[in-house]
Structure 1
Amino acid sequence: MNRRGLFFFLSVLALMSFATGLVTAQTRPAKQDAAPDKPFAEHFIALQLSDSDPKKERLVLSVASNLLKAYGPDKVAVEVVTFGPGIDLLRDTNEHRALVDSLVVQGVRFSVCGNTLDTIERETGKRPALNPHAVEVQVGVGHLLDLTERGFTIVRP
């Protein structure tokens, strides 16, 4: 291969590397976009809860607490997403209410499925009273998908 051919080959290779980097940067979510309320977070975890078992509830809260201890509240974004029977964790009268409130103060977000709330309201005639820190999302599983697309890892303890 002569010099001119080598130069052309290297130029094309450099251009392809640059273009690949641009495509990768555009498809991967920016860390700041993953959790805008946690600008210094390096880790993004969503904990899924779809069971109303008090042991399972306690386990999810324990995992969230342990993540905060391991990485520090500024370095990890944790969101607990509840749907189906799992919304019991966020009922106003839940036995773990103090733990939920403590984790909220440390930056953990708690989401509750609006579809589940609508179903309960249709069946019982009233919407359940929830912890005021619970953030209603339209579809719990859909919210998990959104979080995954924003760079979160879904964990189901």
Structure 2
Amino acid sequence: MIRVGSVMALAVSVCVGALVLPASHAAAQSKEPSAMSKAPDTAKKAHRLVLQVNTNDPAMMNLALNNATNVEQHYRDLGQKVEIEIVTFGPGLHMLRDDTSPVKDRIKAMAEKSPAISFKACGNTQENMNKAENKTIPLVAQATLVKSGVVRVMELQEQGWTYVRP
């Protein structure tokens, strides 16, 4: 036999629960940011990519240039900002040498088309090449000299840049 008191207690519990659940759900919803508000605002913040070139290999140099072009085009198509640095050091400095670069015409064309892509040359490597070849190593006009290519890559990574070695 069911007691009337038990039925009443159950009914009260159900009614109170029905009142409490929507209120707590609404409170939880107002405190929790939506998935959209959690997403980074990529339209305002630039995507940043550093590409390393440290070999004197024309195929590798062209691959790095292809990567840069494709990434730049992808984000341009999305209407988003992107910054790309190609950092050369060691034998990869030949990529930015005016006298030995197999890709200097392509670098010139890319620099004219996209200011989002920049080229950095390792000063340590250039200095060592100057001594080894007993002459001043000329760089392409689009190159900017940095003290150390490896340090430049490290610093960019520490600032949150995405690192790719083609």
Q: Does TM, scored on the shorter chain, surpass 0.5?
A: yes
- Alpha-carbon distance, 1:151 to partner: 1.6
Q: Give the CA RMSD over aligned residues.
A: 2.0
Matches of 1:102 and 1:150, distance apart in 2: 29
Identity of aligned residues (%): 34
- Alpha-carbon distance, 1:131 to partner: 0.2
Residue in 1 aligned with 2:72?
Answer: 68
Residue in 2 aligned with 1:104?
Answer: 111
Matches of 1:46 and 1:127, distance apart in 2: 27
Q: Which runs of 5+ in 1 are unaligned?
A: 1-39
Deviations 1:82-112 (A, max 9, x none): 0000011111142311211122220211000
Matches of 2:45 and 2:120, distance apart in 1: 19
Letter in 1 for 2:55: D
Determine which structure has more spread, i.e. the larger CA radius of gyration: 2
In structure 2, the residue corresponding to 1:95 is in which secondary structure? coil
Name whichever of 86-95 and 67-76 sits farther off.
67-76
- Alpha-carbon distance, 1:141 to partner: 0.3
* Pair 1:121-2:121 in alignment: no
* Pair 1:91-2:97 in alignment: yes
- Alpha-carbon distance, 1:46 to partner: 0.1
Runs of 4+ in 1 over 2 A off after TM superposition: none
Aligned length: 120
Letter in 2 for 1:75: K
Residue in 2 aligned with 1:135?
Answer: 144
Matches of 1:42 and 1:147, distance apart in 2: 14
Letter in 2 for 1:139: S
TM-score by length of 2: 0.67
Equivalent positions of 1:13-28 (< 5 A) are none
In structure 1, the residue corresponding to 2:160 is in which secondary structure? coil
Rate the CA distance shift 1:101–1:41 in 2: closer, same or farther, 3 A: farther
User: Is contact 1:41–1:77 with CA below 8 Å preserved after alignment?
Assistant: no
Matches of 2:140 and 2:75, distance apart in 1: 26
Residue in 2 aligned with 1:57?
Answer: 61
